[in-house]
Amino acid sequence: MFDRLDPKVDFVFKRIFGVEENKDVLLDFLNVALRESEPQPLTDIHILNPYIDKNALHDKQSILDIHARTADGKQVNIEIQLFNRYDIEKRTLYYWSKMYASQLEEGQKYKELKKTITINILNFKFIPNERYYNLFHLREDHMGLVLTDHIEIHFMELPKLEEQKVRISDKLVKWLLFLKGVDKPEVWEEISMNEPALQKAMDTLEFLSQNEEARRLYEMRQKALHDEASMIDGAREEGRQEGMQKGMHKSKIEIAKNLLGMAFDVAQVIEATGLSKDEVQRLKDELMQ
């Protein structure tokens, strides 16, 4: 018996949704994901190069998980994020702006720009509410008037999706449970029942899980992701320790100022706080000014 690969890992995710032979799978997912904002179901989708060209030599290269264009010219980006780097909103706006601007070539008019949609699927909690699905547009603060529908950002947070609190009959829930990687056979069977696109996605995942080359690439990617997670945790811990040290140093400076104000001499303040002679002398000079 083999273990299924995790569909959230970008290598697997792209093989399920980002290849021509599974374009119907991508189209089905998008029609469910965009059902609140698109008045008519999408009838066709063109999968684009995930690399967005740089506009200048020193521009940051943008690589999208899934980059596609609808039949009427709208651009769609689907991003799946396993770790919270605490910059998801800025990353989202940056990628969105790159896609939006890339539509125009020199000499073209702004009216030719089309709506650009970003769908973020997160393996962590980000939006401060209990909803697993949130949709954002650009609106006026008081009346809620939409300035333009050209900017549209979806957030789907998998950890908020608890099977006992959602209706599995809802098709978006079915897709998100698939991506979450449900391991209960009865749930797996239920979410694919009468859903040909979901069944095809599952069949693709099963094939990849049994394919030796796919598993090798998957394990390489998993190792890279684990290394990345360790680096992120290490950076956070280093930042926390640095913050504590800065806080302690700041407290020592305040204590030193108080002692100097009480006419303690420099040597006594150094002994009491552990600050250097130069630091204490500088504080004393500042107080005497």
Of 6, 16, 17, 51, the C-alpha closest to 225 is 6
| Spatial separation of the C-alpha atoms in residues 235 and 82, rounded to whole Å | 17
197: tokens are 């696109």
Tens of pLDDT along the chain (289 residues) come to 468 888 998 888 999 999 999 999 999 999 999 999 998 999 999 998 876 655 544 445 456 789 999 999 999 999 999 888 778 999 999 999 999 999 988 778 999 999 999 999 999 999 999 999 999 999 999 999 999 999 999 999 999 987 667 788 899 999 999 999 877 778 888 888 889 999 999 999 999 888 888 778 777 776 666 665 566 555 555 545 554 555 566 677 777 777 776 666 677 777 667 778 888 888 877 777 6
| Spatial separation of the C-alpha atoms in residues 2 and 138, rounded to whole Å | 46
Domain ranges of the chain: 10-210
- For every residue of 160-194, DSSP letters joined together read G--GGGS-TTSHHHHHHHHHHT---HHHHHHHHTT
Of 152, 156, 158, 157, the C-alpha closest to 136 is 152
| Spatial separation of the C-alpha atoms in residues 191 and 182, rounded to whole Å | 10
* pLDDT for the residue numbered 128: 93
* pLDDT for the residue numbered 202: 93
- For every residue of 114-127, DSSP letters joined together read --EEEEEEESS--S
